[in-house]
Amino acid sequence: MNVLLADDHTLVRAGLKALLETIEGVTVVGDVGRGDEALAAISQHKPDVAVLDLSMPGLTGVEVAERAAKESPKTRVLMLSMHATETYVAQALRAGARGYLVKEAAVSELPLALEAISRGDTYLSPGISRPALDELLASGKASPLETLSPRQREVLRRIAEGQATKEIAFELGLSVKTVETHRAQLMERLGIRDVPGLVRLAIRAGLVSSDR
């Protein structure tokens, strides 16, 4: 089983890589720290499984999962996260993830999760309420971020990471006025009145890490 690993915390990634390499039959074909790098590596290596951190710079794990379905349809995604709430899990599953593993899980869960999703099953960390998750998925209720366009999510992530309006405009090839318009639309759509509120939402939604 060829596995790609993506996590923006260097020590966490090193530990996960070492653990993966102890699992019989698993070969780590790459490990990266950004979501955009993960998508490029998935396109290049076409791994059997991509183990993705939910919150990464460049692209989130959810965004990588959505795009990976086109780049490498046979690659199955196992999402890693600090969050165990059903809203996060539903967001990951809607994006195409086949498994969701909480980072505080026991070491023995990782090979179980890989085995389950490699045979086509769905794996969820113990403690995630399956009835509540099924109800959330059946309701079709989207998280606030799922109602945003890719460009709006990109602007929101950059705002939450502390980038200034001029910097965002330059890196995205937009005018300052366009970025300001995106910010105003984000606040209106999400019902938030200030930038700190946008940052808190981005953190809760896994768009950026809380240590940024």
| Domain contains 210 | no
The token duo for 122 is: 């769905």
Do 155 and 55 fall within a single domain? no
What's the domain count of the chain? 2
Domain housing 63: 2-139
Average pLDDT of span 17-42: 94
The enclosing domain of 49 has a CATH number of 3.40.50.2300
- For 149, residues 6+ apart whose C-beta sits below 8 A from its C-beta are none
Q: Does residue 56 lie in a domain region?
A: yes
pLDDT given at position 150: 74
Question: How many Å apart are CA 62 and CA 93, to the nearest integer?
Answer: 9
Strand ordering across the sheet containing 49-53: 27-32, 2-6, 49-53, 76-81, 99-102, 123-124
pTM recorded for the entire structure: 0.70
- What pLDDT, on a 0 to 100 scale, did the predictor assign at position 34? 92
Between 133 and 77, residue with greater pLDDT: 77
CATH value at residue 172: 1.10.10.10
Structure tokens at 17: 């890589």
